[in-house]
Amino acid sequence: MRITEFELERYFARWEFAVRHVLCASDVEGWSMGELLALADDESAELWKDLRLGYTEAPGHPLLRREIAALYETADAPDVLVLSGAEEGIFVLVNVLLEAGDHAIVTWPGYQSLYEVARACGADVTLHELREADGWAIDVDALRRQVTPRTRLIVINAPHNPTGMLPDRATFDAIVAIAAEAGAYLLVDEVYRYLEFDEADRLPAGVDAGRHVISLGVMSKSFAMAGLRIGWLASRDRELLARVAAFKDYTTICASAPSEILALIGLRARGVILDRSQTLVAQNMVALDALFARWPNTLSWVRPRGGSIGFPRMREDLDIDRFSAELVESEGVLLLPGTRFGHPGNHFRIGFGRTDLPAAVAGLEQHLGRVAR
Ligand SMILES: Cc1ncc(COP(=O)(O)O)c(C=O)c1O
């Protein structure tokens, strides 16, 4: 397989651990081991203490699969396959579903692997462009027109990376119906689920929306444990999951034993875990609203409706690539230019899941004060 480089990940590989403040991270500030273990119930504390570091069950620890299934209304443990990050979920699922001659529709701008893996499998990929002028919304009529007799997969991501867009319920239902009419699978990348700013906006999970809909979840974002590298696919199409599981024999075989137990602890304590993430994001949004209010002629955005990231636009005369390069040099603050998404609009991704956001914003404003007055 030949695959185009993952622009965003190459950028992070260069900068993430070389700067003072990552103001474009998509994860929520990670839990410490001590704090997480303090949340363990008796059973999972035992499992942690007695854990043997052998191979694990290929589809995932039975208790972990059961706990993940409990996130959904219609899924049982056999409808869940544990993977090493959402990234592995995308890779294995798309490899199983698509081959040369197939057609896929994927929203764009977006997380690159959601369309790049499909291309590498030989599929024709139609990008469904989200536009700032439309509030980054998915255009269901345009989506319907993009379907062809060869369309086998439609991919959406909500809340969305990088814009924070969240479709309304009617739009979501229409997309589910379009995929069903097309005889296609719908992959719903839900890694930012539970970070809706208004809980009433939370969409039904994909797996609960139909047998042709697949949910992609992960511990990295709303559950604030990216270092576990634990993700999952949930689907009531067990034959499909079996094929994905067989493909996984060629990637990781099974998940990390310690990570599975830590994920189990985290999911069992999800009330506390999600509350911390939601509170942190809400606090950071207050700081960002104030930032945008102080720089009305320089920074603008479609305010996200969920997730831990947004996609603001920088004033036209301040080239975002140059601005970001100078910012990291002068203040050690990292932004992610929209060009890394192949997007031409002078946008950048900003992340608001980290505790150092106030210090990072102070650095950003120092630099703005120098170049944007
Ligand atoms: C939309 C989306 N999907 C999938 C992933 C992959 O998640 P992970 O790195 O935890 O595997 C990310 C990570 O940024 C993402 O933003």
pLDDT per position as a tens digit, 48-98? 999 999 999 999 999 999 999 999 999 999 999 999 999 999 999 999 999
pLDDT band at 317 (very low <50, low <70, confident <90, very high): very high
**94: nearest Cα among 112, 109, 77:** 112
Average pLDDT, the chain: 97
Q: Please give the distance, rounded to the nearest whole angstrom, from the Cα atom of residue 158 to the centre of ligand 1.
A: 12
Those residues whose C-beta lies under 8 Å from the C-beta of residue 199, and which sit 6 or more positions away, are: none
Cα separations in angstroms, 32 against 29, 36, 222: 9, 6, 15
Mean pLDDT of the 87-115 span = 98
Q: Which residues line ligand 1 (CB under 6 A)?
A: 26, 85-87, 111, 157, 161, 189, 191, 218, 220, 226, 231
- How far, in Å, from the CA of 9 to the mean position of ligand 1? 11
- Mean local confidence (pLDDT), 132-144: 98
For residue range 213-253, what is the model confidence (pLDDT) as tens digits?
999 999 999 999 999 999 999 999 999 999 999 999 999 99
Where residue 277 falls among pLDDT bands split at 50, 70, 90? very high
Candidates 218, 232, 252, 350: which one to mutate for ligand 1, based on the most atoms within 8 Å of Cβ? 218
Task: Please report the pLDDT score of residue 82 as a whole number.
Answer: 98
Closest C-alpha to ligand 1, atom 15: 111
Q: What is the DSSP letter of 353?
A: -
User: Which whole number is the average pLDDT over 283-296?
Assistant: 98
Q: For position 140, what pLDDT does the model report?
A: 98
Query: What is the predicted pLDDT for the residue at 1?
Result: 86
Orientation of helix 42-49 relative to helix 257-268, angle to 10°: 170
What pLDDT does residue 251 have? 98
Could you tell me what percent of the chain has a pLDDT over 90? 99
Average pLDDT for 2-23: 93
Per-residue model confidence (pLDDT) at position 75: 98
User: What strands, in cross-sheet order, belong to the sheet with 348-351?
Assistant: 309-310, 348-351, 336-337
Among protein residues, the one whose CA lies closest to atom 14 of ligand 1: 26
How confident is the model over 357-367, as pLDDT tens digits?
999 999 999 99
CA of 74 to the centre of ligand 1 (A): 24
Q: CA separation (Å) from 274 to 25, 40, 160, 167?
A: 18, 15, 18, 21
- Centroid of ligand 1 to alpha carbon of 87 (angstroms): 6
Span 304-314, mean pLDDT? 98
**Rg for the chain, CA atoms, rounded:** 20
Q: Which of 8, 107, 163, 220 to mutate to test the pocket of ligand 1 (most atoms within 8 A of CB)?
A: 220
Phi, psi torsion values for 233, nearest 5 degrees? -115, 140
- Give 25-52 pLDDT, tens digit per residue: 999 999 999 999 999 999 999 999 999 9
Average confidence (pLDDT) over 150-157: 98
Q: What is the number of the ligand 1 atom nearest to the C-alpha of 192?
A: 1
